[in-house]
Amino acid sequence: MTENRADTVPERIRVAVIGAGSWGTALAHHLGCLGHEVRLWVYEPELLEILHRQRENTFFLPGVRLSPHISYWGDGNAAVQGADVLLMAVPSHVFRQILSGLQPPEPARLVVVSATKGIETDTLLTMEGVVREVWGPEYPYVVLSGPSFAAEVAAAQPTVVTVASRQREAAKFIQCRFFSPSFRIYTTYDVIGVELGGALKNVMALATGILEGLGLGANPRAALITRGLAEMSRLATRLGANPMTLAGLAGLGDLVLTCTSVQSRNYRVGRQLGAGQKLADILANMKMVAEGIKTTAATHSLAQKLGVEMPIVEQVYRILYEGQSPQQAVRSLMTRALKDEIDAMTTSW
């Protein structure tokens, strides 16, 4: 396969995008702007009607006039029929349910791409594991992740992400078809590292938001991002990831993005928690999903199962699910037994 440069036009394909939240809509718009035929499946009937009428996702991505190459579908099976790529952009807690409701096409015709960042709470599987359980191992699987806010992708601001697949040609296929001069894509074959990086950074975004809600400054945030990356790397490498993946776009890149911007839903939730609001009240006023809330519970369970020490995750879990105060969480982290930093990179906070 020849190198796909910024001055070339990608081969046109048909993409079924499942999920019309902000991220699914932004990716659909990006792909439509490349000239691909995009079928966007929409869960909400009211939103489906608005999209047909206005070509704007007023629920989740307002202010963006969407590409005319996008069509809008209320029937997921019809949208997937004849597609070259199935792009899943739904919350992790409904990923299995929605995928199970789709009729699998012939494996030879379809590449499955996940743009979902999370871990299934009951099974502790990443989305690759869910796809394998629901549809089997025959479908080429690719995960797309990295520092990428939906609104900035939709606005064609320069964005750089990673796609990972165990099948080399599948990763290259998506890299070449999804790339544009504003959307640069790297490939890797470390699926577990990319999936865990994308999921775990949301827990750390909750934590950094909590610090801001407490009125704390740049010193604690820098420390938390650094030690958070160490925790992410410990768990990922325990599951077979390449530690360099966590230092890349899907790890450090996405971690910095979500831990430093109010565009991050998880960061905003953390900030409200730090300011003393109750989680139930915060969720009652949210239209979109903050993946880090459920991912915290899944990560906490996974770390306990594997015997991996993750003190930041532990404290966020206690705040979310056991009613611990953010102030006590900070104190618990700061008064842990003193350690050597390099040893602590692989052992604990």
Question: What one-character-per-residue DSSP string does 245-270 give?
Answer: HHTSIIIIIHHHHHHS-TT-HHHHHH
Confidence of residue 349 (pLDDT cuts 50, 70, 90): very low
Nearest to 264 by CA among 312, 327, 184, 201: 201
Residue 205 belongs to a domain: yes
* Predicted pLDDT of residue 345: 55
Domain CATH number, residue 254: 1.10.1040.10
| pLDDT tens-digit series, residues 94-104 | 999 999 999 99
Report which residue type is found at 36.
H
Joined tokens for residue 83: 């597609």
pLDDT (0 to 100) of residue 2? 39
Q: Is residue 60 assigned to a domain?
A: yes
- Domain assignment present for 3: no
Closest CA to 15 of 83, 78, 109: 83
pLDDT bin (cut points 50, 70, 90) of residue 289 is confident
Asked if residue 290 is part of any domain, the answer here is: yes
Cα–Cα nearest to 30, from 172, 139, 185, 143: 185
Task: Answer yes or no: do 174 and 213 share one domain.
Answer: no
In sequence order, what are the beta bridge partners of 88? Answer: 18, 114
Domain end position, chosen among 126, 154, 189: 189
Could you give the CA distance from residue 159 to residue 182 in angstroms, rounded to a whole number?
Answer: 6
Whether residue 255 sits in one domain with residue 175: no
As a three-state string, the secondary structure of 201-235 is HHHHHHHHHHHHHCCCCHHHHHHHHHHHHHHHHHH
Q: Which of 112, 71, 114 is nearest to 91 (CA)?
A: 114
Residue type, 27: L
How many domains does the chain contain in total?
Answer: 2
Tokens representing residue 87 in the block: 């792009």
Is residue 337 included in any domain, yes or no? yes
Are 32 and 49 found together in one domain?
yes
Q: Of 193-202, 282-291, 336-345, which gets the smallest average pLDDT?
A: 336-345
Would you place residue 344 in the very low, low, confident or very high pLDDT band (cuts 50, 70, 90)? low
Q: What is the 3-state secondary structure (H, E, C) of 82-123?
A: CCCEEEECCCHHHHHHHHHCCCCCCHHHCEEEECCCCCCCCC
Are 219 and 179 members of one domain? no
Among residues 114, 145, 151, which one has the least CA distance to residue 22? 151
Q: Clarify whether residues 142 and 161 are in a common domain.
A: yes
230 and 275, same domain (yes or no): yes
Q: Are residues 164 and 233 in the same domain?
A: no
Choose the final residue of a domain: 133, 156, 189.
189
User: At which residue do the structure tokens 């994308």 appear?
Assistant: 198
Q: Is residue 2 one of the residues assigned to a domain?
A: no
**How far apart are the C-alpha atoms of 23 and 115, rounded to whole Å?**
8
Choose the final residue of a domain: 164, 189, 214.
Answer: 189
| Domain that includes residue 107, residue range | 14-189
Half-sphere exposure for 233 (CA within 13 Å, toward CB): 20
Cross-strand pairs, 113: 87, 142
Domain match, 241 and 314 both? yes
Query: DSSP letter string over 301-331?
Result: HHHHHHT---HHHHHHHHHHHS---HHHHHH
Q: Do residues 145 and 179 share a domain?
A: yes
Same structural domain for residues 245 and 107? no
16: number of Cβ within 10 Å: 27
Q: Choose the catalytic residue: 117, 201, 305, 339.
A: 201
Cβ neighbours, 10 Å, residue 91: 18
| Domain-located, residue 1 | no
Do 342 and 211 share a domain, yes or no?
yes
Element (H, E) at 278: none
Residue 48 has pLDDT above 50, yes or no: yes
DSSP code at position 11: P
CATH of the domain at 128: 3.40.50.720
Judged against a pLDDT cut of 80, whether residue 165 lies above it is answered with yes
Question: Over 90: is that where the pLDDT of 287 sits?
Answer: no
pLDDT > 90 in the chain, percent? 91
How sure is the predictor about 347, in pLDDT bands with cuts at 50, 70 and 90? low
Q: Which tops the pLDDT comparison, 317 or 290?
A: 317
Query: How high is the pLDDT of residue 288?
Result: 84
The mean pLDDT of the chain is: 95
Helices and strands in the chain: count of H runs, count of E runs: 17, 8
Is residue 4 in some structural domain? Answer: no
- The percentage of the chain sitting over the pLDDT mark of 70, rounded to a whole number, equals 95
Strand duo 14-18 + 85-88: pairing: parallel
Q: Are 224 and 128 part of one and the same domain?
A: no
| pLDDT(24) > 90 | yes
Look-up of token digits 């949301």: 202
Is 201 catalytic? The answer is: yes
CA distance 209 to 265: 10
Question: What pLDDT is recorded for position 3?
Answer: 47
Residues 313-333 have a mean pLDDT of: 98
Assign 28 to helix, strand or coil: helix
Average pLDDT over residues 35-62: 98
